[in-house]
Amino acid sequence: MTAEARLTPTTFYREIERNRRRSWLLVAIVVIVLGLLGAAIGYATGFGWGGVVIALGVATVMSVGTYFAGDALVMATSGAREVDRAKPADRYQQFVNVAEEMRLAGGLPPPRLWVIDDSAPNAFATGRDPEHASVAVTTGLLDKLDREQLQGVIGHEMSHIGNLDIRFTLLVGVLVGSIALLADWFLRFTFWGGGRRSSNDSDRGGGGGGAMALLFILALVLAVVAPLIGRLVQASVSRTRESLADATAVELTRNPVGLARALRTISDDPEVLEVANRATQHLYIVNPIKSFEERSKSLFDTHPPIGERIRALESIAGRMGLAPTVG
Question: Which DSSP state fits 299?
Answer: G
Predicted pLDDT at 53: 80
CA–CA gap between residue 84 and residue 88 (Å, rounded): 5
CB 266 within 8 A of CB 119: no
Residues 6+ apart with CB under 8 A from 231: 176, 300
CA–CA gap between residue 255 and residue 153 (Å, rounded): 11
Predicted pLDDT at 192: 65
Q: How confident is the model at residue 154 (pLDDT cuts 50, 70, 90)?
A: very high
E strand or H helix that includes residue 53: helix 50-78
CB 71 within 8 A of CB 121: no
Mean pLDDT, residues 77-86 taken together: 92
Query: Cα-Cα-Cα-Cα dihedral of 314, 316, 320, 322, to 10°?
Result: -10
CA–CA gap between residue 121 and residue 22 (Å, rounded): 30
CA–CA gap between residue 294 and residue 273 (Å, rounded): 14
The residue from 157, 242, 251, 314 that is catalytic is 157
Residues facing residue 80 across a β-bridge: 116
SS3 content of the chain, % helix, strand, coil (to 5): 70, 5, 25
Q: For 102-131, what is each residue's pLDDT tens digit?
A: 999 999 999 999 999 999 999 999 988 899
Question: Which DSSP state fits 120?
Answer: S
Predicted pLDDT at 23: 66
Instruction: Pick the closest to residue 304 from 289, 287, 327, 290 (CA basis).
Output: 287
Residue 6 has pLDDT above 70, yes or no: no
Predicted pLDDT at 24: 74
Mean pLDDT, residues 241-246 taken together: 88
The number of CA neighbours under 13 Å toward the Cβ of 249 is 32
Q: How confident is the model at residue 2 (pLDDT cuts 50, 70, 90)?
A: very low
What is the sign, positive or negative, of the torsion defined by CA atoms of 225, 226, 232, 233? positive
CB 27 within 8 A of CB 172: yes
Three-state DSSP class for residue 154? helix
Q: For 300-323, what is each residue's pLDDT tens digit?
A: 577 888 999 999 999 888 888 887
User: Is 157 one of the catalytic residues?
Assistant: yes
H helix count then E strand count, the chain: 10, 4
